[in-house]
Amino acid sequence: MNNQVKTEQTREQVCSLIKKIRMKKGLSTHKLELLSGVRSENISNIENCRRSVGIDLLLKLTNALDCEILIKEK
């Protein structure tokens, strides 16, 4: 599998997890906007993989969702 495919798969997993965690916590995109400072339109685009998410936005979202980012060696 090439790096482009791996990158796309990882991006889709991150987008899916953000949405899954938000929904599990019973939060609307509007409520997550209030908690994170990230516009609800951007949250929706990120969750549906229509927008790439940078580290700063990802940190805002994970902090608001009370979860963490884990990076580990292969």
- Report CA 31 to chain centroid distance, whole Å: 15
Sorting pLDDT into bands at 50, 70 and 90, what band is 2? confident
- The CATH number that applies at residue 40 is 1.10.260.40
- Report CA 59 to chain centroid distance, whole Å: 9
Q: Which residues fall within 8 angstroms of residue 73, CB to CB, at 6 or more apart?
A: none
Residue 50 domain-assigned (yes or no): yes
Domain count of the fold of the chain: 1
Contact status, residue 69 vs residue 62, Cβ threshold 8 Å: yes
The one-character DSSP state at 65 is T
Residue 74 domain-assigned (yes or no): no
pLDDT cut 90: percent of the chain above it: 76
pTM: 0.87
| pLDDT per position as a tens digit, 17-74 | 999 999 999 999 999 999 999 999 999 999 999 988 899 999 999 999 999 999 889 8
Residue 52 domain-assigned (yes or no): yes
